Structure 1
Amino acid sequence: MPQRNTTTAFFSSNRRRFIKGGAALGITAGVTPFAIGKPKPTLRVMGTHVTLQETLRQRAMEDLGINIVFDPGGSATVLQKASMNPASFDLYEQWSNSINVLWRAHAIQPIEKQRIQYWDEINNLSKTGILTKNARMGAGDAPHKIINVQDDGSLGERHTDKISFLPYVHNVDSFGYDKNQLPKELSNEPESWGWLLDSRYSGKVAIVNDPTIGLFDLALAAQAKGFVRFNDIGAMTETELDDLFSVLIELTQLNHFSGFWTSVPESVQFMKSGRAAIESMFSPAVSALNGQNIPVTFAAPKEGYRGWHGVMCLSSSCEGRSKDVAYEYMNWWLSGWPGAFIARQGYYISNPERSAQYLSEAEWNYWYKGQVASEPLRGTDGKVSVQKGAQRTGGSYEERFSNVAVWNTVMPTYEYSLQKWYEFITS
């Protein structure tokens, strides 16, 4: 493992330059300095707020010597926009459940492995679906099932020279809850997805408004409560969906749900304002709330996590110089500093060893090893989000990814599930 700096690189003023004074410092295979006098190329990146952060944009522009335009939005909104208009972006950042939609719409093109400088460093999660030998695979679209572009143009498990997405950030998600509002009766019970549908939280439950994410949160919750049973939760049948949404619509009519959020900032506001005491949640939101001294816990459900893998996709309309710059940006993401930055909001990177040198020992031990924080740790916003003595729920990187119940997935019944989802949120 590379030796880690004891001072967090996030706060260091001594930044590496990837392109400076016309000399490349070696992050990207095939990078060439841009000619003096030529305008800087502009890279357009569409995605969600979880990775399209201003600090990342500024650092990438500084390191690569290019202009970058971020176009962030809610996950459902950006997916629809990207699938219908690939000319509106060069790179697309979201989660693995978007791949089948984008691929079928011909909105993205294959990525050449040989142009990914650190491909050999990427770990087995995206290549085989598991990090450790005895890990639970998880139902649905594990990333290795949809990453390789087959000879016939389909996506599958057999390794080829082309991939549908760059595997970079990833995590396991669950729900967050305000510890100050945890019902006393639940305080001594193991955390469970069923809490989302527990009557003691009625009127204080918020769900992510995404039919390929929120659907699984609610399916796991309904199954945990014994309301429904699924033969394969990663491929629910129409009958099973009917049963699930019958329960959910009944709960809606009883005002069980307080709202449906579409972005991380909105989920933060739901909890901060008191509108929700428990909700679907992503790690950056938990980090942000803890940084504001709101005691939100990111649950480690006994039933297992909902897993996701970040995908960086190349637009089918991206060619020439824009395509070269897109590859530079993809390689930059795996070059070390970005992976360390994103670790501070609880996300992992596909080649973590390269990012280790940019994390302090305390950060590495907390975020990746699951150890007790030996000092206060700051989030991506610079605020303390982890107090000394805290320990990450779910354990180490390997432990958390050994307990995936289901992956974000576009099911064979996707179109039917969309119809049922919109019936539900408008009921």
Structure 2
Amino acid sequence: MPSIDRRNAIKTISKAAGAALATATLPVSAFSIGKAKPKLRVMGTHVTLQEELRQKAMHDLGIDLEFEAKGSAAVLQKASTNPQSFDLYEQWSNSINVLWRSNAIQKIEKSKIKYWDEINSLCKTGRVSPNAKIGAGDAPYKLLNVQDNGELSDKPSEHASFLPYVHNVDSFGYNTNVIEKGIPYETESWGWLLDPNYQGKVAIVNAPTIGLFDLALAAQARELVSFSDMGAMTKRELDQLFEVLIQYKQRGHFSGFWTSVPESVRFMKSDRVVIESMFSPAVSSLNGQNVPVTFAAPKEGYRGWHGVMCLSSATTGRMKDVAYEYMNWWLSGWPGAFIARQGYYISNPQRSKEYLSQAEYAYWYEGNAAATALKGTDGKVSVAAGTLRTGGSYEKRFENVAVWNTVMPTYEYSLQKWYEFLSA
């Protein structure tokens, strides 16, 4: 009996070893030693960290993706203090100075970006056309190139501080059931945000490097304050601005301060506000729900922003390679077409053109009337046939940037004043 048991045991072990060997040689990377499906951690805002994009990227790249979306101030604070918490960071160019100075991000090798040469001139030279205004503040081209001494500048180099991808111009949205529809670049004005007629029905984005400029543009439009350089306000100018804003707040002018696109949608849909700082996806969403919101083209010019994808200083090895794969995926065509349907642009639009219908490209990029009803990213009609996009073509909109989202030299002082304003 002992010898029989021994023979049986040997047979059992042999079968198990054979099964293990067969499993080990299966052509499935998840079961191969050292080939487990990598998980890429992306931190950012709800603007780009959307479920449809996550699912498509995982399918196309064969990776796991973990999205961590928060308000812009919250993600910037976490990323700048804890680079180990993410592999890639997605936000706006105004975050670059903070991230770079805190050593939270590392330089990107342009040679590893497959479509780098296709990226248009807006981020590389500051102008999308010869007649375009550069705009005050942190125009992204000023921060793009990493020099040998570690400084950021507009001088071309082999390394970038960020990948230029999604971008747009922002302004405010207003409900045309309440506020008469204005004329783009002629009557629509940032000053409407501080119009006493809308007291108690106004909301502002709660981000000191964004909402601050919405209010500065509004105050200047109403001739309540003036700035020698809005992209670099002095302490005295900030004091004057916030003295005015606190008076407005104490009179109950502002209904709220939103921190995410979904929250801004709720504010408008519930009639809590009739005018507010807005991002394009919120306007598309509301139009898709039959809420008549117009995205203004202010005569003073837009507040511009450029999306930046940054590589964590803590990301190395295989995860660094995966991060480059994901960055290249973003410029590969489909993602740019997807975000076009919520009103955003991609830095190499010609590659996305083939993923858009002729009617979509003509409306979103060329400023032509919609030949047919167009759907947003949620599958609902967000653009009625015959509608013109407020502000016109891509070139027209980016020829009229008044100021970019910016971290000013007086950033710390502006933060102090911002939070005094919120608590007043």
- Does the CA-based 8 Å contact 1:183-1:200 persist in structure 2? no
User: TM-score with structure 2 length normalisation?
Assistant: 0.92
Aligned-partner Cα distance in 2 for 1:35–1:209: 43
- Does the CA-based 8 Å contact 2:143-2:154 persist in structure 1? yes
Residue aligning to 1:190: 187
1:333 paired with 2:326, answer no
Aligned-partner Cα distance in 2 for 1:272–1:143: 33
Residue aligning to 2:268: 271
Q: What aligned pairs does 1:23-38 form with structure 2 within 5 A after superposition?
A: 37=32, 38=35
Residue aligning to 2:249: 252
1:312 paired with 2:309, answer yes
Ranges of 4+ aligned residues in structure 1 off by more than 6 Å = 186-189
1:172 paired with 2:165, answer no
**DSSP-derived class of the 1:144 partner:** helix
Amino acid at match of 1:398: E
Aligned-partner Cα distance in 2 for 1:34–1:163: 32
Residue 112 of structure 1, CA deviation? 0.4
Amino acid at match of 2:39: T
Residue 382 of structure 1, CA deviation? 0.6
Residue 187 of structure 1, CA deviation? 8.4
Cα 1:355/1:59, change in 2 over 3 Å: same
Amino acid at match of 1:147: L
- Does the CA-based 8 Å contact 2:162-2:311 persist in structure 1? yes
Q: What aligned pairs does 1:76-155 form with structure 2 within 5 A after superposition?
A: 76-155=73-152
Q: Provide, for residues 214-250 of structure 1, a one-character-per-residue CA deviation record: whole Å limited to 9, x for no partner.
A: 0000000000000001000111000000000000000
Residue aligning to 2:44: 47
Q: Provide, for residues 179-200 of structure 1, a one-character-per-residue CA deviation record: whole Å limited to 9, x for no partner.
A: 111069x789710000000001
What is the number of equivalent residue pairs in this alignment?
396
Aligned-partner Cα distance in 2 for 1:97–1:290: 29
- Does the CA-based 8 Å contact 2:46-2:70 persist in structure 1? yes
Of structures 1 and 2, the one with the larger relative CO (CA 8 A, separation 6+) is 1
**DSSP-derived class of the 1:63 partner:** helix
Aligned-partner Cα distance in 2 for 1:173–1:234: 16
- Does the CA-based 8 Å contact 2:336-2:345 persist in structure 1? yes
Aligned-partner Cα distance in 2 for 1:55–1:388: 25
Residue aligning to 1:12: none
166-175 or 186-195, which deviates more: 186-195
Aligned-partner Cα distance in 2 for 1:181–1:88: 45
| Match 2:377 to one of 375, 380, 398 | 380
- Does the CA-based 8 Å contact 2:107-2:162 persist in structure 1? yes
**DSSP-derived class of the 1:69 partner:** strand
| Match 2:347 to one of 350, 362, 370 | 350
Amino acid at match of 1:271: M
Amino acid at match of 1:86: P
Aligned-partner Cα distance in 2 for 1:329–1:360: 25
Residue aligning to 1:208: 205
Residue aligning to 1:390: 387
Residue aligning to 1:424: 421
Q: Provide, for residues 159-180 of structure 1, a one-character-per-residue CA deviation record: whole Å limited to 9, x for no partner.
A: 1101000000000000000111
User: TM-score with structure 1 length normalisation?
Assistant: 0.91
**DSSP-derived class of the 2:177 partner:** helix
Residue 152 of structure 1, CA deviation? 1.2
Aligned-partner Cα distance in 2 for 1:338–1:97: 23
Amino acid at match of 2:131: N
1:364 paired with 2:364, answer no
Aligned-partner Cα distance in 1 for 2:162–2:200: 39
Aligned-partner Cα distance in 2 for 1:183–1:167: 37
- Does the CA-based 8 Å contact 1:167-1:350 persist in structure 2? yes
35-44 or 332-341, which deviates more: 35-44
- Does the CA-based 8 Å contact 1:113-1:163 persist in structure 2? yes
Aligned-partner Cα distance in 1 for 2:198–2:311: 42
- Does the CA-based 8 Å contact 2:30-2:37 persist in structure 1? no
Q: Provide, for residues 365-398 of structure 1, a one-character-per-residue CA deviation record: whole Å limited to 9, x for no partner.
A: 0000000001000001111000001110110000
Q: Provide, for residues 275-307 of structure 1, a one-character-per-residue CA deviation record: whole Å limited to 9, x for no partner.
A: 111000000000100010000000000000000
Residue 66 of structure 1, CA deviation? 0.4
**DSSP-derived class of the 1:141 partner:** coil
**DSSP-derived class of the 2:386 partner:** coil
Q: Which has the higher helix share?
A: 2
% identical aligned pairs: 73
- Does the CA-based 8 Å contact 1:128-1:144 persist in structure 2? yes
Residue 154 of structure 1, CA deviation? 1.2
Amino acid at match of 2:383: V
Amino acid at match of 1:310: G
Aligned-partner Cα distance in 2 for 1:348–1:266: 23
Higher radius of gyration, 1 or 2: 2
